[in-house]
Each structure stands twice: as C-alpha cells, then as structure tokens.
Amino acid sequence: MLSKLLEYPNDVIRLFYPRLCGGCEMALNKGEQHLCVHCRLDLPFTTFENMRGNPVEKIFYGRVPLEFATSFLSFSKSSKVQNMMHAIKYQERKELALFLGRLFGQRLQNNPYLQSVTTLMPVPLHPQKQQLRGFNQSELFAEGINETLQLEISKDNLIRPLQTSSQTKKTRIERWENVEHAFEIKHPKILQNKHILLIDDVLTTGATLEACAQSILDKVDCKISVATIAFAMH
C-alpha cells in the first residue's frame, strides 16, 4: 500500500493538504488551478472595460481628471470575490493574484481608451505594512496584467511615507481625509508626458486612487487612468 502511495506523491500531498478554490474554498479537482471550474465560469465581470461613463469613471467625476477608469469584477460582502481578495491578502495566495491579473490583462488588451498607456503603477503600501505582509497585492496584480500588456511597471516612484489607519468602516469623507497626504512621487520627471495606469485591488469610494492620482498630477504633466481588480457596487 505504501509503495503504491509513493508512486504518486502529488496525489498523497493533495489528499492531506488539498488545494482550495480561491472563490468557494472547496478542494480543487485535478487539473484545476486557483479557481474551480464553477467559480471561474461564474466570475461576476463588470464588463466596464470598453464603456465610457461607466460607474467606476463616474466615482471620479469632479474629483480628479482621469483618461479612463474600469474594474474587472463586482465585489460584494460574503461573495467569491471577497473570498479571493481575503485569500490573497491574508493567506498569501500570490499565485491567485497573478492569475486574476492575467485574466484582467486579457480583457484590457484591446481597450481603445488604454492604447496609449506607457506605465503600470501599482498603489503602494506603507513600507511597514508591506514588510509585515511580505508583499504588495497590487504589484502582483500589475505583474499579471503586464504578462499581456508588456509595458513598464513603476513600483518605486510612487511611495506611501505616511502610515494611515484602515479605510474599513470609514465614510467617504473620512477615507479621503485619511489618505489625502499619504502619497508622494520621488522622481516626477520620469513620468513627464506619460500615460500611467494606476492598479489597485478593490475600489470602494475611490479615495485612495484619487489621492494617488492627485499626488502625481500635482508634480507631473501626464495622463492617468485607473484599473482595479474589484469594484464595490454602490
């Protein structure tokens, strides 16, 4: 019996340590990666990629000038998308973040409003928070997206020197006040005349991305667009 098990070590590992779907948290079947077939076929796409005036764009109207804004998936509480975001951030499911980025990149590839994008820029974490977590999930999303788009990724120019409290349970105004001065650009000249695509995980009120975009536009003459993996529908 033992010799038979040793012939198939990967099957033994899966028996005692099953790989779980990032969406429904059920054990993945052989051949499934990151998400089970059911969850992958049931992903709640926003379909905003080619839509001017979509709900994500409207969040930023009158707040900060953007070329375009979109989100990949609709986010709601106790949903598979929330499970995926939680698995990435708190269970270190880095491969799931890269996988979602790749899927999003495929949908962005032919977007008519993003053809002039030169630079992907993930929203930074405060250094202490990144050290504690061990990674920045927005960087992983950007890397996944870039497998398709093949552009430059700027990871160190936009920084977050101010450590802020969690945005959870804050009102829109409180969220903005919390991050208004949280971001800085280290080398503005590098971004001159470029079209930057800011990448983040979940868009709720837009306060964080607004603060990022404004910190760039205050120092640089450039274009900015926004793309997030998920959008908390209002």
Distances (CA, A) of 163 to 87, 154, 157, 206, 213: 23, 21, 17, 18, 18
- The domains of the chain are located at 1-42, 43-232
Question: Is 108 strand, coil or helix?
Answer: helix
Query: What pTM, to 2 d.p., does this model score?
Result: 0.87
The answer to whether 184 and 156 are in contact (CB under 8 A) is no
Q: Where on the phi/psi map is residue 184: left (φ > 0), alpha (ψ -120 to 50), or beta?
A: beta
Other C-beta atoms closer than 10 Å to the C-beta of 57 total 19
Q: How is domain 43-232 classified at the CATH fold level?
A: Rossmann fold (3.40.50)
The answer to whether 128 and 182 are in contact (CB under 8 A) is no
Question: Quick check: 152 pLDDT over 80?
Answer: yes
Question: Quick check: 8 pLDDT over 90?
Answer: no
pLDDT score of 162: 75
pLDDT score of 182: 82
Q: What's the mean per-residue pLDDT of the chain?
A: 89
